[in-house]
Amino acid sequence: MRRQLPPGPVAGVAASDSPECPICKGAGWLRIDVPVNHPYFGRPVMCECTLPRQEQRRIDDLLRLSALDPFRGKTFETFDAKVPGVDRAWTVAKRFARDPHGWLVLRGGYGCGKTHLAAAIANEAIKSHLQVLFTVVPDLLDHLRSTFAPTSDVQYDELFDSVRTANLLVVDDLGTESSSQWAREKLYQIFNYRYNFQLPTVVTTNRDLGDIDDRIRSRLSDKDLCEIVELKAEDYRERPRGGRRPPLR
């Protein structure tokens, strides 16, 4: 029994855990019926029974790459939506988390709660088994640079593709990255890919949009795709002792 050629290259995985698969009989691999001059002639491809496990592995890989560990407790329930200046952001973020579509930009000063809301969106999406990457921009660029090291276990192309194609990408602190040409180009490539395919994306920034790379700002300004919400709360660190304290960042 054979199946149709899947779109695009196929990554290797171990044999299927299910010996009862009627297609591959538990081998996890198939040879497809294509002409001799076809690039996939004679090459094994994964059986469809391996796809759920491959999907879970991708989810786990993105979770390991994410910077969510310090923000596990950042949920919509632990966010103080009664703080003046954050109620609309809380409502919009919660709605986005229920059905991630388009782009959401949370903009505001330090300590106003935008990172808490971004992390709450990511934590909620993980419960729905989405491929989620939550990353701080400078850390993301460091991860990409590290793949060029001879000791790296991850190939640059593999990591870059995982970032730009994640079901949900949450980018914290856009505008705090270095101004090098390489950094600007990588970020543009990520945002441009996700813009072209309209992949759900959340961005936090404390910068005015005018201070962001023109090419990225142009995409963030597309009102058909992107919603920009301002958080106008004061920095929780500067509040009087005993006053209401919103979540960190």
Helix (H, G, I), strand (E, B) or coil at 1: coil
* Ordered structural domains, the chain, with CATH: 1-51 (no CATH), 66-238 (3.40.50.300)
For residues 218 and 226, give the distance between their C-alpha atoms in angstroms, rounded to a whole number.
11
H helices of the chain, where? 51-65, 87-98, 114-127, 137-146, 156-165, 181-196, 214-220
**Tokens in use for 125?**
């999406």
| Nearest one of 59, 47, 49, 60 to 10, comparing CA atoms | 47
**pLDDT (mean) for 11-15:** 39
Instruction: Report residue 83 CA to chain centroid gap.
Output: 28
Q: What is the value of pTM for the model shown?
A: 0.73
- What is the DSSP secondary structure assignment for residue 71, as one 8-state letter? G
For residues 68 and 245, give the distance between their C-alpha atoms in angstroms, rounded to a whole number.
21
pLDDT tens-place string over residues 132-159: 899 999 999 998 999 888 887 778 888 8
Beta bridge partners of 170: 134, 202
| Nearest one of 100, 111, 119 to 239, comparing CA atoms | 111
pLDDT tens-place string over residues 61-115: 555 666 788 899 999 999 999 999 999 999 999 999 999 999 999 999 999 999 9
For residues 106 and 206, give the distance between their C-alpha atoms in angstroms, rounded to a whole number.
9
% pLDDT > 70, the chain: 70
Which regions of the chain does DSSP assign to beta strands (E)?
Answer: 29-31, 44-46, 103-108, 132-136, 168-172, 201-205, 226-231
Instruction: Report residue 8 CA to chain centroid gap.
Output: 21
